[in-house]
Structure 1
Amino acid sequence: MRTAERLAFERAREQFRRDLHDGVQQTIAAARMDLDGILDPDAPVDVAVADLDGKLTLALEQIRSLKRGALPPELSAGLGTAVERTIAELRMNATARIGVDQLGVLTLPVYYLVREALTNAHKYAGEAAAQVMVAAQGGFVEVTVRDNGTGGAAVRPGGGLAGLRDRVVELGGRLDVHSPPGMGTTLHAVIPVVAA
């Protein structure tokens, strides 16, 4: 019984760690980018300060929702709105086709998957354009995030992509990353609607 309790505790702790990384940490990283805008002498400071204030407010709300075990506040208007907001926060040249706005228990992991992929594209692909597609069909949810950046991404132990892969695998799905150097990166996940 103690072993089962310990395993449950470890699973819950790992889930919390991933939710913290994929949620609050990404919001704070976006806020850091706004801080860079404040330091840019050519950028309008008032806009950058307002963006920074909005992201820090969101980070506090995300922490409160983590404490309550609730969905993060950005998902209150649905997956499509949350993805569009992420694209705007990152100031990316990206398009999103979200075929279904509510995925039940999969809404949060799909959102975190898309958010992490977009944040990685923003960090590592430079001014690349990105596309996000989410569709539910045939008992599966398919998520594709593609950019035309520099490529060369790899799933490394302890890295963000490894955490995403682990999250998808726990849901009974699979995550493929195709990222040849110089050719951009495509992240493709297939997750069963009813988790295995």
Structure 2
Amino acid sequence: MLAQVERSRERIVAATDAERRRFGQDLHDGAQQNLAVAAAYLRKAVGGLDDTADATVLEALRRSDRALRDVTGELREIAHGLRPAALTELGIGPALDALAAAMPIPVELSAPAVPRLAPTVELTVYMLVKEAFANTLKHGQATRAGVRLRHTGAELEVRVRDDGVGGAAVDRGRGLLGLQDRVEAVGGTLTVTSPPGAGTTISAVLPADPTPTLEADDDGR
């Protein structure tokens, strides 16, 4: 019975990730492309105006162009958050490089020889590191952070640490609790060590060779 429940949780996570990928692709292929075309037409119209054009109308067109650019950028960020292009195309190492580079504090990243894993596991690792970074910035008051990945063949060990104030716990926020549920749903374990005043370490052990169910494509093949 327990095995059936675990397999059911795995299928739910895999189905959710597939839907996440579909939605991100729809945003890219649909809304973003349409906005890009509209912005191109608008820029062409603005560029065709001469010095005799009404200044109020010209400014309105320019503001519309900026608004279109802003909306396109926001949609791109949403699609990126659903499943980053670097994660899909290059794997977990480059995707974590991008996350670390965006942090306002120094991050030491060690991810040697991590092969491509099942999409569900890769996304779980990415979400784990992203949530750990969010906690570091919001609550940790840290000056440095580090991420270490170790692939042993059968498992992937992930550790995210910071030198902040500590005091984090799974039962104190929805972010870590949801992360724990996801890690366990793909067959892994999550540990949070965060003594007051001594920083926070979030560790996880994930399967590196998931079942075929987790490796199925969007159509379930």
Report the equivalent of 2:74.
Answer: 56
Which of these residues, 123, 126, 150, is aligned with residue 141 of structure 2?
126
Question: 5+ unaligned residues in a row in structure 1: which ranges?
Answer: 1-6, 24-51
Matches within 5 A, 1:158-177: 159-177=174-192
Which of these residues, 108, 114, 121, is aligned with residue 123 of structure 2?
108
Report the equivalent of 1:73.
Answer: 85
With over 3 angstroms needed to count, the CA separation of the structure-2 counterparts of 1:114 and 1:53, relative to structure 1, is farther
1 CA distance for matches of 2:206 and 2:132?
16
Consecutive aligned runs of 4 or more in structure 1 exceeding 6 Å deviation: 52-55
Report the equivalent of 2:218.
Answer: none
Displacement after TM superposition at 1:12 (Å):
6.2
Q: Which has the larger radius of gyration?
A: 2
Q: In the alignment, does 2:101 pair up with 1:83?
A: no
Report the equivalent of 1:3.
Answer: none
Q: In the alignment, does 2:145 pair up with 1:139?
A: no
With over 3 angstroms needed to count, the CA separation of the structure-2 counterparts of 1:180 and 1:15, relative to structure 1, is farther
Which secondary structure state, in structure 2, belongs to the residue aligned with residue 111 of structure 1?
Answer: helix
Alignment coverage as a number of residue pairs: 151
- Whether the 8 Å contact between 2:13 and 2:186 is mirrored in structure 1 is no
Displacement after TM superposition at 1:56 (Å):
3.3
1 CA distance for matches of 2:131 and 2:186?
17
- Whether the 8 Å contact between 2:117 and 2:209 is mirrored in structure 1 is no
- Whether the 8 Å contact between 2:190 and 2:204 is mirrored in structure 1 is yes
TM-score normalised to the size of structure 1? 0.65
- Whether the 8 Å contact between 2:143 and 2:163 is mirrored in structure 1 is yes
Alignment RMSD, CA only? 3.3
- Whether the 8 Å contact between 1:121 and 1:128 is mirrored in structure 2 is no
TM-score normalised to the size of structure 2? 0.58
Point out which structure has higher relative CO (alpha carbons under 8 A, 6+ apart).
Answer: 2
Amino acid at match of 1:59: E
